Structure 1
Amino acid sequence: MRLPTLRRSRSAEPGSVLGTARLDRRTKRLVGRLRPGDIAVIDHVDLDRVAADSLVAVGVAAVLNAKPSVSGRYPNLGPEVLIAAGIPLLDDLGESVFEQIREGDVVRIEGNTVFVGEEPVAHGALQDAETVAKSMADAREGLSVQLEAFAANTMDYLKQERDLLLDGVGVPEIQTRIQGRHCLIVVRGYDYKADLDVLRPYIREFKPVLIGVDGGADALVEAGYTPDMIIGDMDSVTDDVLRCGAEVIVHAYPDGRAPGLPRVEGLGVPAITFPAAATSEDLAMLLADEKGASLLVAVGTHATLVEFLDKGRGGMASTFLTRLKVGGKLVDAKGVSRLYRQSISGSSLLLLILSAVAAMASAVAVSTVGKAYLGVVSEWWDNFVFQLGQIF
């Protein structure tokens, strides 16, 4: 099989790619350190679309994955995103890649081989559109197994967190006023930038409570807003955003351990914890619902079965049940933009202009100054007609 053509830097040999290596076993944590032209070294089995979108947005030169980007468990969407963006993806390099490559090393990729200097340090499978399509087709055949596992996880979560889901037991007391208000819950997920952009008129008019879920708080700040609340395990929100004045709620494990709490306290930011087995975005929805929000508008969250599976976590069972719990209030941002955006037809605009002109004319005709002005105009017109008569 012919290997795909690789991106290359100016100093690389033809058919190769050269860049500075940045390593982290958690892709979303790595994204914060990446710069355009870097080579991302990750450890991400079944690369999901959100992670791939973030890598594309940064502008990486290539992605080296220690694990298979498509394991065959289900048709995950990330590899297709990278290939469509023209970013080389070298797969299944093995755990040793994190020992052979160090942070800041200049790495060269030629074919399916990774070099540091002139020494080959790892070999993998170079993906292209054909290989990814075949892997995705094979994965779809095993989808029924994943659906069964998803259903089992859902039942386990229901047993574990039924008090939280049914009665709101464990929801912390907060200072932000939510009762009777709209809540905009932002996750740095699918199409979040486009959704925030089309929601600007809605945000301006309804002034919803702005809740950022981890990196979603940064997304709000980047869009020009200040979040009212930040909820999450605090592994992808920046220090500056944590200090913005928002109320901070740290997602904790069911046993009360909160790995993100020391970081927040180290910044001098007051915070409370919310212990639960759910995902952070689900906690945001459950909290807003329990505190009396009249409407929940979701940006970048998971809404379909494919997206649940693409997340690749058993915890996504909580997402399904959370949506059953808050379904009467929950609206996806794309739906709000379609309902809220109004277009003015050409005929309506013309009618509006003519009405304004008629109103102005009527006001001029009945006012004292307007009558005097009309008299001057009438006299000027009579003189103009008389002059024309004299000429002809």
Structure 2
Amino acid sequence: MSRSRKISVPTTVSAPVRVGHDPRSLARRLKRGEIAVIDRADLDAASAELLADREPICVINVSASLTGRFEARGAARLAARSVPLLDALDRGLIAATDGVVASIDFAVEPDSDGPRAVVMMGSQKTDCRVVDAALIERRVAEAKTAAASRVPRLTASALDLVHRDGPALADGDVVPHLDLDLGGKDVLVVTAGPGFRNQLASLRAVVRDVRPIVIVTGDAANFVAEHHRVDVIVGPLESVSDEVLTRASRVVIHGESSATATTRLGALGVRHVSSDSRLESADLAVALAASAGARLIATVGVDTSIPELADSASGASALLARVAAGPAWIDGRTLARLYRSRWSRLQGWLVVALAGLALAAALALHPHVRDLVSRVTGVG
């Protein structure tokens, strides 16, 4: 009956809530075992993965996780990661205070539309729809009938962004006063999208041999800094450690309170600029690399297929950034498949060993060397 049975959660759970309209921003604050309250119609896959990575006990959406307009993959991703998803039937929960404890009762009699749950927070009681496999299948089937309208809608949203951010992209001044010259250089842009850790690992040889300029979004900065040098950080900085911030050569504040971030960076003595671009942080990173003259821009953690762009609320932003990058852009997964290091470490040591043997053999045949060896050893 209930989704709670399929994913082995108790019929009633209690935990602190963490509230945020944007799932990606909320994921940076969300702790294991908490209840996430979000506001995202047609929850996209990338946002769902970031939430699931934090291991919440439940995700509550005050908007419809699947409206039937898009084949939004977020609900299916949460189901695959065994994270219960509820759609609240009113929006009151989005006004909840961070840290307040809520109880969720999954043992509620289902109605004709499927399983239900009740969220209790103090005296407030909110009815919710459990987003189970049957509901996901039904909404995805509805979305397939509207598939033909998705790409035009995506293009229209991108054109709306062009009116605001297009002039800066065309002038090569996407982030004013950044003072970044990447002419003729290769750039790696990393964001904390689904599977970004594995993608980054597959590019280890590329980073070692090519030594690209590394630009990261705030949500990926700490992880990337453990393995590679970080040159530029773009985006919300709440989750970035002070150590990583101070080691970056440039920092771009984006998608958060500029005043708060500026105060923190000023105290650390970190050089920074701010951007009010409506592009997503990952897309802003791609666009600024392009405007700074990068020869090649490889992306990690960024979904670029048309279905993924149409699925995501940030699809228009991603589309505009790809246009700005033009022929310089390449998906990191493709680069990893194409790249072959000229010399592996084993091959390098083998060459050195063979060269040493050849030198020893040549010396051994030289008359003067043979004579010297004979005098020293008394042999011959």
Same fold (TM over 0.5): yes
**Residue matched to 1:202:** 206
**Residue matched to 1:168:** 172
Alpha carbons of structure 1 residues 158 and 61: separation in structure 2 relative to 1, 3 Å: closer
**Contact 1:64/1:93 (CA < 8 Å) preserved in 2?**
no
- SS for the counterpart of 1:37 is coil
- Paired with 2:36 and 2:208, the residues of 1 have a C-alpha distance of 38
- SS for the counterpart of 2:29 is coil
Cα deviation code 1:299-326 (max 9, x no counterpart) = 112311122222214xx43432332332
**Contact 2:120/2:126 (CA < 8 Å) preserved in 1?**
no
Cα deviation code 1:50-103 (max 9, x no counterpart) = 121112211122212222111122111111111011111122342122457762
Percent identity over paired residues: 26
Amino acid at match of 1:154: A
**Residue matched to 1:388:** none
Instruction: Please identify, of 166-175 and 119-128, the stretch whose mean Cα deviation from structure 2 is larger.
Output: 166-175
- Paired with 1:208 and 1:353, the residues of 2 have a C-alpha distance of 27
Amino acid at match of 1:287: L
- Paired with 2:170 and 2:238, the residues of 1 have a C-alpha distance of 30
Cα deviation code 1:1-43 (max 9, x no counterpart) = 555516567xxxx544443332223322322232222222222
Alpha carbons of structure 1 residues 5 and 70: separation in structure 2 relative to 1, 3 Å: same
Matching of residues 161-310 of structure 1 within 5 Å: 161-169=165-173, 171-221=175-225, 223-232=226-235, 234=236, 237-238=239-240, 240=242, 241-251=244-254, 260-267=257-264, 268=266, 269-310=270-311
Alpha carbons of structure 1 residues 119 and 300: separation in structure 2 relative to 1, 3 Å: same
Q: 1:296, CA displacement in angstroms?
A: 0.8
Over 6 Å off, 4+ runs? 117-120, 351-358, 369-372
- Paired with 1:8 and 1:199, the residues of 2 have a C-alpha distance of 37
**Contact 1:364/1:371 (CA < 8 Å) preserved in 2?**
no
Alpha carbons of structure 1 residues 209 and 140: separation in structure 2 relative to 1, 3 Å: same
- Paired with 1:173 and 1:98, the residues of 2 have a C-alpha distance of 37
**Residue matched to 2:338:** 339
Alpha carbons of structure 1 residues 179 and 99: separation in structure 2 relative to 1, 3 Å: closer
Alpha carbons of structure 1 residues 23 and 339: separation in structure 2 relative to 1, 3 Å: same
**Residue matched to 2:110:** none
**Contact 1:8/1:16 (CA < 8 Å) preserved in 2?**
no
Q: Give the length in aligned residue pairs.
A: 359
**Contact 2:19/2:26 (CA < 8 Å) preserved in 1?**
yes
- Paired with 2:181 and 2:198, the residues of 1 have a C-alpha distance of 28
Alpha carbons of structure 1 residues 32 and 142: separation in structure 2 relative to 1, 3 Å: same
Pick 1 or 2: higher relative contact order, CA cutoff 8 A, min separation 6: 2
Amino acid at match of 1:24: G
Cα deviation code 1:214-248 (max 9, x no counterpart) = 32323422x4334211223x265435243444312
Cα deviation code 1:312-357 (max 9, x no counterpart) = 14xx434323323322111111011111246999xx99x9899689
Matching of residues 137-148 of structure 1 within 5 Å: 137-148=141-152
Alpha carbons of structure 1 residues 84 and 304: separation in structure 2 relative to 1, 3 Å: same
Instruction: Please identify, of 169-178 and 83-92, the stretch whose mean Cα deviation from structure 2 is larger.
Output: 169-178
Alpha carbons of structure 1 residues 362 and 144: separation in structure 2 relative to 1, 3 Å: same
- SS for the counterpart of 1:19 is strand
**Residue matched to 1:329:** 328
**Residue matched to 2:160:** 156
- SS for the counterpart of 1:124 is strand
- Paired with 1:165 and 1:118, the residues of 2 have a C-alpha distance of 49
* TM-score normalised to structure 1 length: 0.77
**Residue matched to 2:112:** none
**Residue matched to 2:93:** 97
* TM-score normalised to structure 2 length: 0.79
Amino acid at match of 1:205: D
**Contact 1:185/1:212 (CA < 8 Å) preserved in 2?**
yes
- SS for the counterpart of 1:90 is strand
Structure whose alpha-carbon radius of gyration is higher: 1
* CA root-mean-square deviation: 3.6
Any gaps of 5 or more consecutive residues in structure 1? 252-257, 377-392
